[in-house]
Amino acid sequence: MNPYIEIIRPGNVIMAIIAVVLIAIIDHSISIPIILAMLTVLFEISAGNVINDYFDYKIDLINKPTRPIPSGKIKLKTARNYAYLLFALGTLCGLGISLLTGNWIVFVIVLFSDVVLYYYAYKLKTTPLIGNLTVGFMTGLCFVFAGYSVGNPRIILISMILGFFAFVMTSAREITKDIEDIEGDKEEGAKTLPILYGKKLSAAITFILIIIDCLLCPLLYFKGIFSILYLAIILIAVIIFVYSAILIIKKQDVKTAAKVSKYLKIGMLIAFVSFAIGSFQIL
C-alpha cells in the first residue's frame, strides 16, 4: 500500500465517512453539502491520523515499527506537512458547507475539530481516560457534524443520539487498544489508563461502557427512531459486543485486547448497517 494512503489509516477514515453516509441515508437525501461533509470528514480524520503518527513516532518504533514513519517510508517533517495540508483541505470543505447552507455551526465544528485533533495527538493522548474519551467524542462528532450539514432539526436530533452511541463504544475500544499497546507505552513513559491504574480497572471500565451501549440499543427502536429491521440486525452487534466485554473482563493480555478491539470494530460496522436499514421504515 502507498505509504501516504497507509498513514491516514483508510479503515478508520472509511468508518468516519460512513457516519456521514448514514445520516444522508436516514434523511433519504443527497446534496452538495453532504458530499462536502464526506470530504471534510475524509480530510479531517486523515489529518488527525497523520499528526498522531507524527507525535507517536518514538512509541511506534516499539509498538508498530512497520508504520510509514518509523519504517522510514515517510520522513518525519514530510508527515507533519502532509497533516497540515489535510487539515487545510478539511477546513476549506467545511467553510464551503457553511457558505452554501448559511449554517455557520458547521464551520465552527470543523475549526473545533482542527484544534482538538491536533491537541489530542500532542498532549491529550497520554492523558489517562481523557485521551480515550476524546477519540470517542470526535467519532461521535462525525454524526453530529453530518446532522448539521443536512440542517433538518429531526435529523440533527437523531445524529446526536447516534453520536452518543459511537462516543461510548469508541471510548471502550480506545481503552482496549491502550491495554494492547501497554508495553510500548511504558517504554515511552506514557501515562495511559492501564499503566497508571492497571489493566483490570481499564477492562472493567471498558466492560461498563460496552454494556451501557448494549442497553441503549433497543431504545432506538422503542422510541420510533428505527424500524423492526434495525432491532433484528442490531441484535447481532449486541451479541458481538457482549462477547467482547466478557473476553476483556476475563483476560487482559495483549492478544485478547487485540482480539476485542477487532470484534468491537466489526460490531460497530454491523450497528451502522442496522442504522441504515432500520431507517427505511421510519417515514
Enumerate the H helices of 102-192 as residue ranges. Answer: 105-122, 130-150, 153-180, 182-188
pLDDT of residue 66: 82
Q: What is the pLDDT of residue 283?
A: 45
d(CA 101, CA 80) in angstroms, rounded, equals 32
Q: What is the CA radius of gyration of the chain?
A: 19
Q: What is the largest CA-CA distance in the chain?
A: 54
Angle between helix 199-216 and 153-180 (nearest 10): 160
Give which of 151, 113, 203 is closest to 32, Cα–Cα.
151
| Domain ranges (residues) in the chain | 3-281
Averaged pLDDT in 10-residue chunks for the chain of 283 residues: 89 89 88 95 95 86 81 90 96 96 95 95 83 91 94 89 93 92 75 87 95 90 85 94 95 91 93 88 50
Class of domain 3-281: mainly alpha
